[in-house]
């Protein structure tokens, strides 16, 4: 039977406290116990349906976590106050001083900075590789390697990671595969393809409204319990707790994610075909020209398309800036970072979301200084949007 993330969410019956069709929001930092022994047991990890303190766990966050686990097909999940909170908590839970990580060199700038710079404090080394070169990945593994880290669709070059192959390498070397699925929710299910842990910035497509910052970690019950351990859990001790009000609003938005992903994908595919027609250099996994197009077709759930992320290369940052400024004036969307919004967002990756990556590393990964990353919005008439973009391209003599 085909894995259906949307129906898995739909099948959850999460009633509110008084039978509300929306789960209740628990606006409380601490919780009452009727017996002192129950509090003692809860501190030792035996919650038995009880809640202790909202940094540990709260009902609103659990509602969202249960829905995310259903979407991913994992045993459990944990929600955090940011995507970086999810990424760093998961990595630090899996790694100790002296360990080694093999990571995709093409990854979100904040993740790259954490791995390349911050982890040095703990003498954790990271080898950055071309994640599409499986031979390079395997050669980078050392006796002290504890994990392979990648993104299902890499930021910002939109490479597709061969998750089943990476999972096979991970199992053979007895290391964990940690996958950031922020760009491809519902489209790709990393846990079903062999990933041990899946992380998200829920700020993006999952929430879809750019009105909050949040993250998620999905994995086995054992791993999620380890994150929450009162003595050794990173999600517990570092305190990246998500506010229950925000958790509740994200939970509601999650129920429309399947509809939104279809429209994001439809609009991005339309723009990709137009970029091809006018001769622009572009990246979109849904087009046959993309080097991992066939792999994407093998991994994806076709119900949700190839995603809303697309990139064009104008070769210089000056040309990229001119086009982005004009597109904003013409009402195409916003010159802004982030993605997954209902309006189209665009930014020059090398000068924004990948700016933490040194220039020489950007060149090594093949990131052009003129790359514009688009997060294509939910426009009803995408032809109308294309005409605005085309006007900008023609006015600036790009086409």
Tokens of 301: 């759930």
pTM score of the predicted model: 0.95
d(CA 349, CA 3): 33
Question: What is the rounded distance in angstroms from the CA atom of residue 108 to the CA atom of residue 248?
Answer: 27
Among the residue ranges 15-24, 71-80, 165-174, the one predicted with the least confidence is 15-24
Do 67 and 12 reside in the same domain of the chain?
yes
Residue 96: closest CA among 52, 63, 145: 145
Question: How large is the average pLDDT for residues 110-119?
Answer: 96
Q: What are phi and psi of 213, to 5 degrees?
A: -120, 130
Residue 116, pLDDT > 70, answer: yes
What is the chain's mean pLDDT, rounded?
Answer: 94
Note the pLDDT of residue 47.
61
DSSP label at residue 342: S
How far from 144 is each of 66, 97, 119, 227, 260, CA to CA, in Å? Answer: 34, 10, 15, 22, 42
CA–CA–CA angle 95, 100, 103 (5° rounding): 100
Residues 105 and 127 in one domain: yes
Q: Do 233 and 338 sit in the same domain of this protein?
A: no
Domain count, the chain: 2
Report the residue count for the chain.
399
293/190 Cα distance (integer angstroms): 17
Residue 55 confidence (pLDDT): 87
Phi-psi domain of 307 (left: phi exceeds 0; alpha: psi -120 through 50; beta: other) = left
pLDDT band at 46 (very low <50, low <70, confident <90, very high): low
- Look at residues 215, 235, 254 and tell me which one is the last residue of a structural domain: 254
Query: Going edge to edge, which strands form the sheet with 333-335?
Result: 282-283, 309-313, 371-375, 344-348, 333-335
Contacts of residue 297, Cβ cutoff 8 Å, sequence gap at least 6: none
Read off the DSSP letter of residue 25: P
Cis peptide before 156 (omega within 30 of 0): yes
Residues 238 and 261 in one domain: no
Give the pLDDT confidence score for residue 300 in this predicted structure: 97
Q: Is the pLDDT of residue 364 over 90?
A: no
pLDDT at 373 over 90: yes
Distances (CA, A) of 63 to 23, 44, 66, 90, 111: 7, 22, 5, 20, 27
- pLDDT for 131 equals 97
Q: 174 in helix, strand or coil? A: coil
Whether 237 and 275 map to the same domain: the answer is no
Q: Which of 99, 98, 162, 96 is nearest to 129 (CA)?
A: 162
- Report residue 37's pLDDT band, with 50, 70 and 90 as the boundaries: confident
Domain of residue 353 covers 257-395
- For the cut 90, the answer to whether the pLDDT of residue 138 exceeds it is yes
Q: At what angle do helices 382-395 and 317-329 cross, to 10 degrees?
A: 130
Alpha helix segments (H runs only) across 147-240? 163-173, 221-227, 234-237
Please give the pLDDT value at position 203.
98
Q: Are residues 149 and 226 in the same domain?
A: yes
Same domain, 270 and 163: no
Domain stop point among 226, 254, 282:
254
**Rg, Å, the chain Cα set:** 21
pLDDT beyond 90 at 361: no
Nearest Cα to 268, choosing from 230, 304, 223, 225?
Answer: 304
Q: Are residues 68 and 53 in the same domain?
A: yes
Q: Is the same domain home to 267 and 241?
A: no
Q: Please report the pLDDT score of residue 223 as a whole number.
A: 98
Report the CATH number at residue 364. Answer: 3.90.1150.10
Task: Report d(CA 143, CA 141) in Å as an integer.
Answer: 7
- Give the range among 40-54, 272-286, 311-325, 355-369 with minimum mean pLDDT: 40-54
Strands 344-348, 333-335: pairing kind: parallel
pLDDT the model gives residue 176: 98
248: CB partners within 8 A, 6+ apart: 22, 23, 25, 60, 63, 64
Neighbouring CB atoms inside 10 A of 55's CB total: 16
- Give 52's pLDDT tier (boundaries 50, 70, 90): confident
Question: What pLDDT score does 370 carry?
Answer: 94
Task: State the pLDDT at residue 322.
Answer: 97
On the question of pLDDT at 357 being above 90, the answer is no
Q: Are residues 159 and 274 in the same domain?
A: no
For 302-340, the pLDDT digits (tens) are 999 999 999 999 999 999 999 999 999 999 999 999 999
- Residue 234 is predicted with a pLDDT of 96
Q: Do 230 and 314 lie in a common domain?
A: no
Model confidence over 204-237: pLDDT tens digits? 999 999 999 999 999 999 999 999 988 999 999 9
The residue among 254, 286, 305 that closes a domain is 254
């Amino acid at each position: 039977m085909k894995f259906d993330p949307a129906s898995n969410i739909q099948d959850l019956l999460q009633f509110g406290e008084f039978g509300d069709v929306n789960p209740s929001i628990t606006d409380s930092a601490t919780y009452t116990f009727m017996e002192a022994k129950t509090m003692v047991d809860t501190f030792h990890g035996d919650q038995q349906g009880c809640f202790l303190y909202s940094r540990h766990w709260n009902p609103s966050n659990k509602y969202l976590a249960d829905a995310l686990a259903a979407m991913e097909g994992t045993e459990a999940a944990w929600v955090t106050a940011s995507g970086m909170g999810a990424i760093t908590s998961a990595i630090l839970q899996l790694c100790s001083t002296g360990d080694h990580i093999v990571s995709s060199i093409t990854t979100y700038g904040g993740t790259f900075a954490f791995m390349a710079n911050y982890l040095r404090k703990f003498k954790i080394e990271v080898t950055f590789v071309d994640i599409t070169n499986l031979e390079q990945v395997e050669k980078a593994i050392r006796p002290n390697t504890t994990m392979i880290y990648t993104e299902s669709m890499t930021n910002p070059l939109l490479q597709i990671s061969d998750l089943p192959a990476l999972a096979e390498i991970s199992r053979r070397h007895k290391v964990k595969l940690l996958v950031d699925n922020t760009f491809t929710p519902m489209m790709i299910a990393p846990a079903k393809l062999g990933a041990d842990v899946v992380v998200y910035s829920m700020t993006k497509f999952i929430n879809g409204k750019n009105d909050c910052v949040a993250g998620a970690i999905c994995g086995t019950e054992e791993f999620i319990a380890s994150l929450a351990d009162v003595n050794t859990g990173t999600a517990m001790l570092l305190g990246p707790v998500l506010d229950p009000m925000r958790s509740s609003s994200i939970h509601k938005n999650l129920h429309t994610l399947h509809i939104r992903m279809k429209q994001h994908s439809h609009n991005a595919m339309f723009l990709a075909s137009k970029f091809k027609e006018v001769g622009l250099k572009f990246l979109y996994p849904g087009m046959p020209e993309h080097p991992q197009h066939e792999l994407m077709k093998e991994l994806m759930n076709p119900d949700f398309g190839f995603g809303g992320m697309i990139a064009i290369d104008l070769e210089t940052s000056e040309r990229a800036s001119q086009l982005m400024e004009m597109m904003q004036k013409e009402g195409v969307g916003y010159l802004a970072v982030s993605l997954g919004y209902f309006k189209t967002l665009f930014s020059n990756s090398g000068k924004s979301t990948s700016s933490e990556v040194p220039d020489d590393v950007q060149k090594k990964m093949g990131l052009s200084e003129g790359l514009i990353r688009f997060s294509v919005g939910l426009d009803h008439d995408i032809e109308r949007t294309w005409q605005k973009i085309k006007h900008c391209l023609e006015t600036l003599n790009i086409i």
